[in-house]
Amino acid sequence: MRRALFLLACGVAGGAVLIDQGTKALAAAQLSEVGRIPLLGDWLGLQLAFNPGTVMSLGSDSTWMLTIIATVASVALLIAATRVRSTGWAVAIGLLWGGAIGNLLDRLFAPPGFGRGHVTDFLAYGNLFIGNLADIALGVGLGLALLLYLRRPHQTRR
């Protein structure tokens, strides 16, 4: 059972990474940093951006530190995936792991250089920020993990 759950987490993570990296490559080839293609009026559009930081470009002067944090998080999520005990947790950890790896690959291999790469973003949320599918995987994985945590039976301490 644990092996099947680990493989599920790996499959979800792998799928998230493949979809994330594929859409980033497509965005880099087809979109512009200048113009925005509206999808839902001003609420959602497509616009290319290269982000050295995190959400809303926070930490943009510490890209190397974000690379280290993402690497540690990816290893921790690998360990968590080996210990998962339910389908819901396997999916949540897989989404978090895939999102972390998707953005980590950009930080490792994208310009301007190894460990300092800028993350490719293309989903423009109004004038708030521009993100990518790895960010969505991270958000959905975190939301699912919170729901699973809150729904667990409360254990009494002795």
Active site residues: 121, 135
Distance CA 81, CA 104 (A): 18
Give first-to-last CA distance, the chain, whole Å: 30
- Placement of tokens 């699912």 in the chain: 144
Q: What 8-state DSSP symbol labels residue 73?
A: H
CA 136 from chain centre, in angstroms, equals 6
Dihedral over Cα of 7, 8, 13, 14: its sign: positive
Task: Return the ∠ at Cα 145 (arms to 104 and 70), rounded to 5°.
Answer: 15
CA 60 from chain centre, in angstroms, equals 17
Burial of 69 (0-12, 13-18, 19+ CB in 10 A): middle
